[in-house]
Chain A
Amino acid sequence: MIEVKDIYKSFGENEVLKGISATFEKGNTSLIIGTSGSGKTVFIKCMLGLFIPDKGDILYDGRSYIAMSTKEKRLLRQEMGMVFQGGALFDSETIEDNIMFPLKMFTEQSKEEMLERVNFVLKRVRLENVNQKYPAELSGGMQKRVAIARAIVMNPKYLFCDEPNSGLDPKTATIIDNLIQEITDEYQMITVINTHDMNSVMEIGEKIIFLKNGVKEWEGSDKTIFKTDNKSVTNFVYSSNLFRKVREVYNK
């Protein structure tokens, strides 16, 4: 379990996170939603340890991340997988080398074992015959799948995704969402996803946290988000014409 306890984070005068608390359970996909500038990325980067909160604590299975030494943090990070918004693939390396990198760095596996694992995760994200290609040769959706493959190659306990659907067409976005959900169930990971994509909310929103101006405004699930009377949440959910029209038709 990951417990986030009352974290605050400022950049100069700009207070981005203002006392956010949340828990994330094993085998669950949790979504952090909110408008741009609501603090979603800073929140997830605090959880990853890329930013250190000014106040509060983050516990990974009861272990305080903030209190850990640099070495302990690096060891914990080997249990994490992260899918960045832009993929963050190493553009000078082939897809195979990209995925193999954590194995080379942190395991004593032979080349054959590593290759077998790489092919397994590539198959798992439904990509084949891309081993010797470079990231620039792949489409955005394929790059995201490679990023997921790299994130899960070490069998992480915790998976974080920052806007995994940004820049993708709705069909590919749904494929990515379903893939993340499947992998979370299969490996019983704790998955935390940053998104402002309402399709993701409907597809995989087992637990949803809504952030507004650095504050946790609402918490619920895909079942309750459409029934809530929280004005900020309804404004966010029905900000698109499509969802407004669906609501009108539904109400009629």
Chain B
Amino acid sequence: MLGQVFKKPQKRSVFHDNIFKEIEELGLKSIGIVAFISFFVGGVVAIQTGLNVDNPWIPKYLIGFATKRSIILEFAPTFMSVILAGKVGSYITSSMGTMRVTEQIDALEVMGVNTLNHLILPKIIATVFFYPFIVTLAMILGIFGGWVAGEITGLFTVDNYIEGIRLEFKPYLIVYALTKTMVFAFLIATIPSYYGYYVEGGSLEVGKASTKAVVWTSVVIIIFNYFLTQMLLG
């Protein structure tokens, strides 16, 4: 399957159009939910850290530091990818599965189109190169959410929070997070595509394939997360 997916596209202009369509469908249309969740989860992480740091010997700036680390290292790349696996993964499987059961993929095949390349490669490119931007946005909004939570609850001051954010800033951690994101994006594009492309039957089977795709993509992301963390940080 992957051999055919990574063949040279048959027509460059059609391929470019498809990439932009997929960026819109799989990327731009996910920004709203990513922004919403990131902002509030960032706020919750800051509040919970603040509530647990009640020892006067522990400096308050650690709230900002802990919020930043948890958002950059895990929440933005992994948690967001699992959310995108649900939203985007189910979309990919159901749209491709519907194309399969309504013979649209056969129609493309009969025209002489390399369907694996035509349908899947633009999705891989769109997710692998666009999701790092989405995850960066999730990082920024998550940290901002923590700041706003501090302002509202009064658990910590803005100065303390910003001091924590600035403390021990390691650019490699961003590289690590974005590397993970690119791997997860590849999984989000390929696993649901596989389930959708090879579905057999009718709409019920498309629904079942969609559920399976989301479950397996999430499971594989979590497993890859473990090994990537070991490889890149261990």
- Which chain B residues border A48 with CB–CB below 8 Å? 110
Q: Given A86-B102, A86-B103, A75–B112 Cβ distance below 8 Å?
A: yes
What is the 8 Å Cβ interface bit string for chain A, positions 61-90, against chain B (1 contact, 0 not)?
Answer: 000000000000111111010101110111
Partner among A74, A91, A92, A104 whose Cβ is within 8 Å of the Cβ of B112: A74
**A106 contacts chain B at the CB level, 8 A cutoff:** yes
**B106 contacts chain A at the CB level, 8 A cutoff:** yes
Q: From A77, which residue of chain B is reached at the shortest CB distance? A: B112
Contact between chains at B110 and A80 (CB < 8 Å): yes
Contact between chains at A104 and B13 (CB < 8 Å): yes
- Which chain B residues border A27 with CB–CB below 8 Å? none
**B203 contacts chain A at the CB level, 8 A cutoff:** no
What is the 8 Å Cβ interface bit string for chain A, positions 88-122, against chain B (1 contact, 0 not)?
Answer: 11111000000001101110000000000000000
- Which chain B residues border A160 with CB–CB below 8 Å? 110
In the assembly, what is the distance between CA of A211 and CA of B11, in Å? 40
What is the 8 Å Cβ interface bit string for chain B, positions 4-17, against chain A (1 contact, 0 not)?
Answer: 00000011011000
**A50 contacts chain B at the CB level, 8 A cutoff:** yes
In the assembly, what is the distance between CA of A102 and CA of B111, in Å? 7
In the assembly, what is the distance between CA of A76 and CA of B109, in Å? 11
Contact between chains at B14 and A77 (CB < 8 Å): no
Contact between chains at A104 and B103 (CB < 8 Å): no
Contact between chains at B107 and A74 (CB < 8 Å): no
Contact between chains at B111 and A78 (CB < 8 Å): yes
CB distance from A205 to the nearest CB of B (A): 24
In the assembly, what is the distance between CA of A69 and CA of B13, in Å? 25
Contact between chains at B103 and A85 (CB < 8 Å): yes
Contact between chains at A105 and B14 (CB < 8 Å): yes
**B114 contacts chain A at the CB level, 8 A cutoff:** yes
**B1-38: which residues lie under 8 A (CB-CB) from chain A?**
10-11, 13-14
Partner among B11, B102, B112, B113 whose Cβ is within 8 Å of the Cβ of A88: B102
**B104 contacts chain A at the CB level, 8 A cutoff:** yes
**Interface size range on B against A:** 10 to 19
Contact between chains at A90 and B109 (CB < 8 Å): no
Q: Given A84-B103, A88-B103, A104–B110 Cβ distance below 8 Å?
A: no
- Which chain A residues border B98 with CB–CB below 8 Å? 91
- Which chain A residues border B11 with CB–CB below 8 Å? 104-106
- Which chain A residues border B102 with CB–CB below 8 Å? 86, 88, 91
Q: From B4, which residue of chain A is reached at the shortest CB distance? A: A70
In the assembly, what is the distance between CA of A224 and CA of B234, in Å? 80
What is the 8 Å Cβ interface bit string for chain B, positions 97-121, against chain A (1 contact, 0 not)?
Answer: 0110011101101111110000000
Contact between chains at A78 and B104 (CB < 8 Å): no
Contact between chains at B107 and A77 (CB < 8 Å): no
Contact between chains at A77 and B110 (CB < 8 Å): yes
In the assembly, what is the distance between CA of A80 and CA of B107, in Å? 11
Q: Given A50-B109, A84-B103, A90-B104, A74–B114 Cβ distance below 8 Å?
A: yes
- Which chain B residues border A45 with CB–CB below 8 Å? 106
- Which chain B residues border A102 with CB–CB below 8 Å? 111
- Which chain B residues border A78 with CB–CB below 8 Å? 111-112
Q: From B111, which residue of chain A is reached at the shortest CB distance? A: A102
Partner among B95, B106, B107, B113 whose Cβ is within 8 Å of the Cβ of A105: B113
CB distance from B109 to the nearest CB of A (A): 6
CB distance from B46 to the nearest CB of A (A): 41
In the assembly, what is the distance between CA of A103 and CA of B99, in Å? 20
Contact between chains at B111 and A105 (CB < 8 Å): yes
CB distance from B187 to the nearest CB of A (A): 25
In the assembly, what is the distance between CA of A160 and CA of B98, in Å? 22
Contact between chains at A88 and B10 (CB < 8 Å): no
- Which chain A residues border B112 with CB–CB below 8 Å? 73-78, 80, 106
- Which chain A residues border B13 with CB–CB below 8 Å? 104
Contact between chains at A77 and B109 (CB < 8 Å): yes
Q: From B25, which residue of chain A is reached at the shortest CB distance? A: A92
CB distance from B20 to the nearest CB of A (A): 14
Q: Given A88-B102, A90-B104, A50–B110 Cβ distance below 8 Å?
A: yes
What is the 8 Å Cβ interface bit string for chain B, positions 146-190, against chain A (1 contact, 0 not)?
Answer: 000000000000000000000000000000000000000000000
CB distance from A11 to the nearest CB of B (A): 11
Other CB < 8 Å A-B pairs besides A92-B95, A104-B13, 6 of them?
A50-B106, A78-B112, A80-B110, A84-B103, A89-B104, A106-B10
On A, residues with C-beta under 8 Å from B are 45, 48-50, 73-78, 80, 82, 84-86, 88-92, 101-102, 104-106, 160
